[in-house]
Amino acid sequence: MQEPQSWKDDLKEGRLEPLFSALVESYTERLYWHIRSILLRHDWADDVLQETFIRTWKSLAKFRGESAFYTWMYRIATNEALGHLKKEKRFQLSEGPLDFKLSADPYFDGDEALKQLMAAVAELPDKQQTVFKLKYFQKMPFKEMSELLETSVGALKASYHHANEKIKQGLNLKDID
């Protein structure tokens, strides 16, 4: 994959198709699974992934290189996913319980323990959900998460701790770390 400065040269010279193809090829899978961990549903994750690439493409000239390119895209994907969640919560009519949504999703394997964990995670406030998913499922270090979410490491650790405690209570567990 080319370096971002080369991308800027490609943009100036009108070589757009190979550049966009390289972006999609390099980042689709990782971004999809990140978005999917936030949204839980394949159809939503697929839509948000497309929106992420569109937003990235439109903002490519604004990339300043202060962070790694993937971190910048990851932030865009996270913001798009959280925005989608907020929109769905605002407009969501009764779609049935989360258990039904997880069972009906053809990309979810139905493992009962994971289903219970995801149901408990879904009960958390949005910020705690995001922090928990990034730390627990993606093993993201708090420092990297701090850059991504533009929040202090201490606040993220507190959010993770509170999320962990709520999930343990909801699942009647002693520890999930």
Q: Where are the domains of the chain?
A: 1-92, 98-177
pLDDT in tens, 3-49: 555 666 666 676 667 777 888 888 999 999 889 888 878 889 999 99
Sign of the C-alpha dihedral computed for residues 149, 152, 154 and 159 taken in this order: negative
CATH number attached to the domain at 1-92: 1.10.1740.10
- So what's the pLDDT on residue 67? 75
CATH class of the domain whose range is 98-177: mainly alpha
The DSSP string of 26-65 is HHHHHHHHHHHHHH--HHHHHHHHHHHHHHHHHHGGG--S
pTM above 0.85, yes or no: no
Structure tokens given for 3: 């370096």
Q: Report pLDDT for 93.
A: 39
Q: Using one digit for the tens of pLDDT, what is the confidence trace for 87-126? A: 876 554 334 444 445 554 555 555 666 778 878 888 888 8
